Structure 1
Amino acid sequence: MNDWIAIGALAVVGLAIPLGMMAVSALLRPSVPEQGKRTVYESGEVPTGTARIRFNIQYYMVALLFLVFDIETVLLFPWVTIYRPALEQGVPLLDVLWPMLTFVGILAVGLVWAWRNGAVQWTSSPRATARKTERETES
């Protein structure tokens, strides 16, 4: 059998099963239209305001920094597992350490850059600023 026929059959089955399940579900489920079910969140609460809310960009910056340093940790684990066996086989210490030190150094430079640009510093709210100035004037 040709490999492409098997791949095509798998694709057809992979599409047919979910589509068939949705079709059977649409035919068998009870349809009880109700105002509460038609609301945006289906929780019975009437939505207020617009759906466009301005989020603080800091949330996204922290998430991106977390991903970068999380991936760094994932890349450090395989290096740690081969470090000792490589040294036992006679590989020079500098040849084992240099690639990872370079990698961590580049990430450290990136962290310093993000820190200096304010990516990891939260902006304070007006209430927090007012409390801070009140404490400073009381002292």
Structure 2
Amino acid sequence: MSNPWIAVGALALVGLAIPLSMIAISSLLRPSVPEQGKRAIYESGEVPTGSTRIRFNIQYYMVALLFVVFDIETVLIFPWALIYNDAVAQHGLNSVLAPMLVFLAILIIGLGWAWRNGAVRWVKSERAEIKSEL
């Protein structure tokens, strides 16, 4: 009798050997032409200005999070709306409508909290203000 772990080990070795051998062979076969243009920060033909590190406005992150929250809300409400009539017929109006109203109330309270704390208010960065003055 053979041990089933031998097959798992062999598969793991093959799974590691194939990508490593492909990397090694491609590093040997690829052309290497070091140029000053390839060492530049940007390869798009633009002359780099300033630092490569740019501070992004936190508002992008906040808007993305709010989008994800309300996008998931839509994903959860849509199937509920599709089965609403059948569920009311089987379980009654209160047992079907109450959980969805609680869910929507929590989302509305969350949106109100985000609005009150300024998460949906767009604030211009200093760089944008300088560009608008020019």
Alignment of 1:1-139 (within 5 A): 2=4, 11-88=12-89, 90-123=90-123
Q: Is the 8 A contact 1:83 1:96 kept in 2?
A: yes
Instruction: Report the secondary structure of 1:78's partner residue.
Output: helix
Relative to 1, partners in 2 of residues 1:100 and 1:23: Cα closer, same or farther, differing over 3 Å? farther
Which structure is higher in RCO with an 8 Å CA cutoff and minimum separation 6? 2
Would you say how many aligned residue pairs link Structure 1 and Structure 2?
126
How far 1:12 moved relative to its partner? 4.3
Look up the equivalent residue of 2:74 and give its one-letter code.
Answer: T
Q: Distance in 2 between matches of 1:115 and 1:5?
A: 59
Q: Is the 8 A contact 1:37 1:43 kept in 2?
A: no
Which structure 1 segments of 5+ residues have no match? 131-139
User: What RMSD over aligned residues (CA atoms) do the two structures have, in Å?
Assistant: 2.7
Which structure 2 segments of 5+ residues have no match? none
Q: Distance in 2 between matches of 1:73 and 1:109?
A: 16
Instruction: Report the secondary structure of 1:47's partner residue.
Output: coil
**Residue-by-residue CA offset, 1:1-54 (whole Å, 9 max, x unaligned):** 74x666655554444443333222212211111111112233344422122322
Which has the higher mean CA deviation after the structures are superposed, 67-76 or 15-24? 15-24
Runs of 4+ in 1 over 6 A off after TM superposition: none
Q: What TM-score comes out, normalization by structure 2 length?
A: 0.74
Q: What TM-score comes out, normalization by structure 1 length?
A: 0.72
